[in-house]
Amino acid sequence: MDALDPVPGEQVLEIGPGHGTLTQELLARGLKVIAIEKDGRLAATLKLANLQVIEGDALQIAWPRVGKIVGNIPYYITSPLIDKALTPPLPERIVFLVQDEVADRMAAPPGGKIYGALSVGVQVVARVEKLFTLAPGAFRPPPKVRSALIRLTPLAQPLVLDVEVASLRAFVTACFSKRRKQLKNAVPGLNEAELKELGFDPTVRPERLAPAAFVRLFRRAPATHG
């Protein structure tokens, strides 16, 4: 709740309220909550003042546009939910409880083994903060992994345009699918000479590049522009 920094009276979107534990805390802080719940039985039990429940699959339905998004989200669909939460127009703040390993990947700086397509895809549009971790015993039933709270704050000036977001993610994923290869063999649509012309060392591996460098490559690669 504190990570979300809520202002009484504002509207927030909760993904996957379940039995409503977090929902009740949101309402107690004077917020108006829109909750998306896939399980019809759970959705039917969530009848509280200032709460609007939308029954449906959060990956399939359009999300109401609100300033803040929060949720203890299903770990097996974390990446697509993050992608959807960061689809323009961007909210002011996103606070999700995710698998600890995924939080580390999102926040990872260039150069390490866990820095990859997810890191770049998130960091080109948002600042990532891993706030704290939770042991399995914090949950009923306990999961088999540690969890972590992340806060995503969309950048005032994202590194990519709204219309570029989806294509950039696909481009970066293609680059990292060959992460053991050098740039000259990993970047779709650009040869060694073109990489040198752009100021890149063709022998460097993709995981060494900062998010802004991927944006430069993306904008020059003909395959990404049809």
Residue 115 sits at the vertex; the CA angle it makes with 164 and 2, to the nearest 5 degrees, is 80
Burial of 89 (0-12, 13-18, 19+ CB in 10 A): exposed
Q: Where are the alpha helices (DSSP H) in 10-116?
A: 21-28, 40-45, 78-85, 100-107
Give tens-digit pLDDT for 114-130: 999 999 999 999 999 99
Total domains, the chain:
2
Chain segment 126-170, per-residue pLDDT in tens: 999 999 999 999 988 898 999 999 999 999 999 999 999 999 999
Which of 154, 184, 217 corresponds to the end of one domain? 154
Looking at the fold, whether 129 and 175 belong to one and the same domain comes out as: no
Q: Are residues 137 and 169 in the same domain?
A: no
List, in sequence order, every residue forming a beta bridge with 54; answer none if it has no partner: 36
Residue that finishes a domain, picked among 154, 180, 208: 154
Residue 3 resides in a domain:
no
Domain interval for residue 96: 11-154
pLDDT tens column, 43-98: 999 998 999 999 999 999 999 999 999 999 988 999 999 999 998 889 999 999 99
Last residue of a domain, one of 108, 138, 154: 154
**Roughly what angle, to the nearest 10 degrees, separates helices 211-220 and 165-176?**
100
Contact 134, 147 (CB under 8 A): yes
What is the pTM for the complete model shown?
0.93
Same domain, 74 and 99: yes
